Amino acid sequence: MRINTDTLPQLTINGIAIPFSKSTKNLGMKLTEHLSWNSHISAICSRVHGVLNHLRFRTYYLSSSLKKQLVTALILPHFDYACTVYCNLTRCLDLKLTRLFNVLIRYIFLLPRDARLAPYIAKLDWLTPEKRRKYFLAVILYQILMTAKPPYLTAFFYPLARAFVVRKGIVSPILVYL
């Protein structure tokens, strides 16, 4: 169900009416009225291509290891910033990020467009964008469960204490979170 902004009351501050916006940017995240990530992923792509175009001027003078360090320091943070927020990307947007990631691999190793990238990704020991998002989500979940902070997120998980008996009759508890 979508909210009809025409039926909502007008927001006024100091007598000035503030109009509703189709999209907004908050902490670097572009949010649309329908909560789709199209504009945010497009912004990531344009930022990454901008940085990559600056790096391409000196491509042939740099070694692969130095290019890997430059990509890790200057480009991968654009992929990783607040990536847990948009874990539910559509296949189309995920494919867009994956193709952008493939451009980085081709830049580092000077590969043609039709080269297989799997061995080079393994050589770099990197995770694909989808796996990186899942990794960061798992890290956040682990921190929530181990530290019980922040409390407003901890309230969503409660432990179920279970016990099992090992060979010597020692009961060892297992915590399962739901």
**What residue ranges in the chain does DSSP mark as E strands?**
11-13, 16-18, 23-26, 29-32, 159-165, 171-177
Q: How far is CA 44 from CA 28, 51, 124, 145, 169, in A?
A: 10, 11, 22, 31, 56
Q: Kindly state the average pLDDT of the residues 44-51.
A: 97
* 172, 163 Cβ separation under 8 angstroms: yes
Residue 175's pLDDT is what? Answer: 58
Overall residue count recorded for the chain in this entry = 178
Q: Kindly state the average pLDDT of the residues 136-146.
A: 92
Which residues, 6 or more positions from 33, have their beta carbon under 8 angstroms from its beta carbon? Answer: 5, 20, 21, 22, 23
Which residues on neighbouring strands pair with residue 30, listed in sequence order? 25
DSSP letter (8 states) at residue 128:
-
Q: How far is CA 32 from CA 38, 46, 140, in A?
A: 9, 18, 25
97-126 pLDDT, tens digit per residue, is: 999 999 999 999 999 999 999 999 999 999
* 64, 109 Cβ separation under 8 angstroms: yes
The Cβ of residue 104 has, within 10 Å, a number of other Cβ atoms equal to 23
Q: What is the pTM of this model?
A: 0.81
58-85 pLDDT, tens digit per residue, is: 788 899 999 999 999 999 999 999 999 9
* 75, 48 Cβ separation under 8 angstroms: yes
Identify the three-state secondary structure at position 113.
Answer: coil
For the chain, what percent of residues have pLDDT higher than 70? 88
